[in-house]
Chains A and B, each alone.
Chain A
Amino acid sequence: DGGITQSPKYLFRKEGQNVTLSCEQNLNHDAMYWYRQDPGQGLRLIYYSQIVNDFQKGDIAEGYSVSREKKESFPLTVTSAQKNPTAFYLCASNRDRNYGYTFGSGTRLTVV
């Protein structure tokens, strides 16, 4: 289903808890991205990685962390420092800068 898989589909976080969102792709894409989507806000870039073992902060990186140990995987950790984490999180990848992104199906995170 599109070659990029996010899990879980729904996630609930308690106050002060860290949670990790999974993103795996089998498209052999070099670049991977994490976006946060809030109603009326569009897509805001959290972190991106152009190559294995390297990643860069996006526009709203505070309270989040990532790793890129394998080409196929780009997990996102939402830390307790992120004060308003309730949102829809989308992972994306692309072959190179000449192409658009392929998105995963998203993870909806809710603070309880």
Chain B
Amino acid sequence: GENVEQHPSTLSVQEGDSAVIKCTYSDSASNYFPWYKQELGKRPQLIIDIRSNVGEKKDQRIAVTLNKTAKHFSLHITETQPEDSAVYFCAARGMEGSQGNLIFGKGTKLSVKP
């Protein structure tokens, strides 16, 4: 079935710098890749997603890129702010043996220092 690896597990940046989180997936048939942000003690919330027919998608300060050949996708946050501090999860919709369910990475704890 699908397997999603996420790196790094922790990331600390200075306010105003950029942050990049990378994920790789194993199922070449996967076609949907969402990113979730989870603040401490709260629910994960969808912040951006990308489908396999698109290479890049932007929404204000966040962007996601997808490389289908290499089977990896990345989240880019520019001009980081303290309120960006949270745990970020990537996910991929697995097709082989995963019944089309989302398979999540283990998360990246992002800390933005003022």
Q: Which residues of A does B touch, CB under 8 Å?
A: 2, 33, 40-43, 45, 48, 50, 56, 58, 90, 97-98, 100-106
B68 CB, nearest partner CB in chain A, Å:
18
B100 CB within 8 Å of chain A: yes
**Knowing A42-B107, A43-B89 touch, does A103 contact B102 (C-beta < 8 A)?**
no
Chain B residues within an 8 Å CB radius of A42? 6, 89, 104-107
Considering residues B6, B43, B46, B49, which has the most beta carbons from chain A within 10 angstroms of its beta carbon?
B43
A88 CB, nearest partner CB in chain B, Å:
8
Q: Does the CB pair B49–A106 fall under 8 Å?
A: no
Chain B residues within an 8 Å CB radius of A33? 101
Provide the bound-state CA to CA distance between A104 and B44, in Å.
8
Apart from A42-B107, A48-B99: 14 A-B pairs, beta carbons within 8 A: A40-B107, A41-B106, A42-B6, A42-B104, A42-B105, A43-B44, A43-B89, A48-B101, A97-B32, A100-B49, A101-B46, A103-B43, A105-B42, A105-B43
B45 CB within 8 Å of chain A: yes
Task: Determine chain B's interface SS by DSSP, over half rule.
Answer: strand
Provide the bound-state CA to CA distance between A71 and B19, in Å.
40
Chain A residues within an 8 Å CB radius of B89? 42-43
Provide the bound-state CA to CA distance between A58 and B2, in Å.
13
Chain B residue nearest to A104 (CB atoms) is B43
A50 CB, nearest partner CB in chain B, Å:
8
